[in-house]
């Protein structure tokens, strides 16, 4: 989910009952002030590598949406639009793993 803040946020922010994971931060000019735009997911405090990866992926793609993207691509891999959609989903999965590795550098991808 895209969000904005008037200050830079850490990768992991512990809140009262949740954890906010903020990544892909970009500085943007809004009228006469600087804002920070970033992707974020909010999850319960019991974070693990796998839970962070899943939360980031599922924030953009539901299980049904992922299944549809994969099945559409498998039906016709030569279709440029379906290939692009599949590649974008794979790039997002890679991004999720990269963010999770920043939080848990010792983690090894079990799902690769």
> 43, 80 in Cβ contact below 8 A?
no
Give pLDDT tens digits for 44-64.
999 999 999 999 999 999 999
pLDDT at 110 exceeding the cut of 60? no
User: Cα 54 from chain centroid?
Assistant: 9
The Cα 83–Cα 21 span in angstroms is: 29
Q: What is the pLDDT of residue 92?
A: 98
Distances (CA, A) of 99 to 12, 28, 112: 10, 21, 15
Nearest one of 72, 66, 69 to 54, comparing CA atoms: 66
Average pLDDT of 70-80?
A: 97
Provide the whole-model pTM. Answer: 0.87
Confidence class of residue 109 from pLDDT cuts 50, 70 and 90? low
Q: Looking at residue 112, what is its pLDDT?
A: 45
- Whether 3 shows a pLDDT value over 50: the answer reads yes
């Amino acid at each position: 989910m895209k969000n904005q803040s008037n200050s830079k946020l850490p990768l992991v922010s512990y809140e009262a009952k949740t954890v906010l994971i903020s990544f892909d931060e970009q500085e943007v000019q809004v009228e006469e002030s600087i804002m920070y735009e970033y992707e974020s997911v909010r999850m319960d405090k019991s974070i693990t590598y796998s839970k962070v990866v899943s939360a980031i992926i599922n924030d953009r793609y539901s299980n049904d949406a992922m299944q549809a993207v994969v099945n559409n691509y498998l039906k016709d891999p030569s279709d440029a639009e379906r290939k692009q959609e599949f590649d974008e989903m794979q790039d997002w999965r890679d991004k999720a793993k990269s963010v999770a590795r920043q939080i848990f550098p010792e983690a090894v991808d079990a799902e690769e």
